[in-house]
Amino acid sequence: MYGICFVAGAVVLQQGALPKQDDCMYYLQQGEAEVVCSSDAGPCERSHEEAEGPTVRTLQKPGWLFGDLPLLFQSPPAASVFAKTNITVWAMDRRTFLKFVMKHAQGARALRFLRKLQLLKGLSDTGLIDAATCIAQRMYEDGQPLIRIGEYGDELFVVRYGGKVRVSCPDGNGRRVEMAVLGRGQCVSGRVLVNGKLRSADCVAQGRVQVMVLKKREFMDLDNPLLAWTLDYDAVSAVLRSLPLFMGLAPEHMQIIMDRFDARKELLQGDTILDAGNEIDKLYVVKVGEIALFNEEGEKVEDPEFLQRSNDGLSVSYFGEGCLMDPVISPYTIKVASEELHLLCLPKRDFDALVSHGARGGFGNWIGTLLGACCGGPPRALDTASSASSR
């Protein structure tokens, strides 16, 4: 922008004048300007005293912005602007103005898109603007990988335009298993970005795909009160969908079970979660971090039957699901292996109370049937409720 001075009576904008390349948008910094709108104005220049026909006059003071609409729509000004006194204005030429508009119009579209994302629902307008300024646009061609198994994840991808993203992993027999197909508005690798684990699946473009890319540092700096809740929800739902006990459970019942999880368990590296020989009385879900298993001799061991992972592509670790059906003794000492660990826990007593309370409405009976199928008979806590509902 550059400054221009106009003497009193000078024409700044002329109503009806045809667009020219040197037209500008103006900001009135000093002095007073008069806006004159006449019903009988032509493209020729007239002073504000010579305006013919019915005329509307408006006085404008410093801080007024004008001339933007003729530039935006390539149209003649709808009113004339005269210098009422000596004035000083700041001017922005047509090319700079249009570049500015195009840049921020694209940003406005990005903001509308970000506002619809579940992961960013809790952000304020300022937070969304901060997120939009950090986001880069990237294009992937058909078959081009966004993510490969084993890579370290420091970027979050959101599918915006074009095709889809196919998530798959090998099944151990030389074949590939498709875990999910992600479309517009869906996030790729959000959980891995948070928990710092290596990528557990390949994500490949199906068709030409445009994605929005947000770096881990910027993502974690967002002031989003719903982010922690969303991550809890993703981790718990991934585990519940992997357990035969909960397959086929209605969404509203799944939500009730999720609400019973305790998300307050946060531990540091080396902390002990359970000692070998202690009873496991919770279903544990690892939200962030890693755990290690040690046998009675103190040797670190791997046991994928004990420490399992969800099978939906998120690869969320969990253990202790058997305690929901029968008492379980831990064969291992379980410790925190990462710098910090966030656990989500479903206590058996809360689960039993939920089942007993819901029995009269059919919810508990449905779970009781599943528990009976898994355990070879209905849990004792459900006998009374089940018999009552059958009468």
- Are 212 and 242 members of one domain? no
- Residue 80 contacts residue 35 (beta carbons within 8 Å): yes
- Are 136 and 37 members of one domain? no
Residue 374 is assigned to a structural domain of this protein:
no
For residue 286, give its domain range.
230-350
- Are 146 and 179 members of one domain? yes
- Are 247 and 204 members of one domain? no
Length in residues, the chain: 391
What angle, 0 to 180 degrees and rounded to 10, lies between the N-to-C axes of helices 251-258 and 348-358? 140
CA distance between the termini of the chain = 84
- Are 87 and 6 members of one domain? yes
- The 3-state secondary structure of the chain reads CEEEEECCCCEEECCCCCCCCCCEEEEEEECCEEEEEECCCCCCCCCCCCCCCCEEEEEECCCCEECHHHHHHCCCCCCEEEECCCEEEEEEEHHHHHHHHHHHHHHHHHHHHHHCCHHHCCCCHHHHHHHHHHCEEEEECCCCEEECCCCECCEEEEEEEEEEEEEEEECCCCCEEEEEEECCCCEECHHHHHHCCECCCEEEEEEEEEEEEEEHHHHHHCCCCCHHHHHHHHHHHHHHHHCHHHCCCCHHHHHHHHCCCEEEEEEECCCEEECCCCEECEEEEEEECCEEEECCCCCEECCCCCCEECCCCCCCEEECHHHHCCCEECCCEEEECCCEEEEEEEEHHHHHHHHHHHHHHCHHHHHHHHHHHHHCCCCHHHHHHHHHHHC
- Provide the domain count of the chain: 3
- Are 188 and 241 members of one domain? no
Residue 34 is assigned to a structural domain of this protein:
yes
Backbone φ and ψ of 30, nearest 5°: -145, 140
- Are 254 and 346 members of one domain? yes
Residue 357 is assigned to a structural domain of this protein:
no
Residue 158 is assigned to a structural domain of this protein:
yes
pLDDT for residue 390: 35
What does the block give as tokens for 133?
């300024």
pLDDT for residue 195: 54
- Are 256 and 215 members of one domain? no
Which of 147, 291, 263 is closest to 211 using CA atoms? 147
Residue 160 is assigned to a structural domain of this protein:
yes
pLDDT for residue 55: 73
What does the block give as tokens for 367?
């779970």
Residue 372 is assigned to a structural domain of this protein:
no
CATH number at residue 271: 2.60.120.10
- The CA-based angle 272-276-277, given to 5 degrees, is 135
- Are 201 and 187 members of one domain? yes
Which of 119, 94, 304 is closest to 219 using CA atoms? 119
- Are 181 and 263 members of one domain? no
Distance CA 105, CA 111 (A): 10
Distance CA 65, CA 69 (A): 10
Rounded to an integer, what is the distance from CA 89 to the centroid of its chain? Answer: 43
- Are 308 and 213 members of one domain? no
Which of 148, 133, 150 is closest to 215 using CA atoms? 133
Residue 325 is assigned to a structural domain of this protein:
yes
Residue 108 is assigned to a structural domain of this protein:
no
Distance CA 231, CA 193 (A): 11
pLDDT for residue 310: 83
pLDDT per residue rounded down to tens, the chain (391 residues): 899 999 999 999 999 898 888 899 999 999 999 998 876 555 444 444 554 556 778 899 999 999 888 887 778 888 899 999 999 999 999 888 877 776 666 666 777 777 777 667 666 666 777 777 777 889 999 999 988 887 776 788 889 888 899 988 887 777 888 878 888 888 776 665 555 555 778 889 999 999 988 877 777 666 665 566 666 777 788 888 888 877 767 776 777 787 788 865 678 889 999 999 999 999 999 887 889 999 999 999 999 999 998 876 567 889 999 888 888 999 999 999 988 888 889 998 888 887 776 544 445 455 555 445 444 443 333 333 333 333 3
- Are 259 and 328 members of one domain? yes
Final residue in a domain of this structure, among 96, 124, 157: 96
**Calculated CA dihedral for residues 238, 242, 247, 250, nearest 10 degrees:** 0
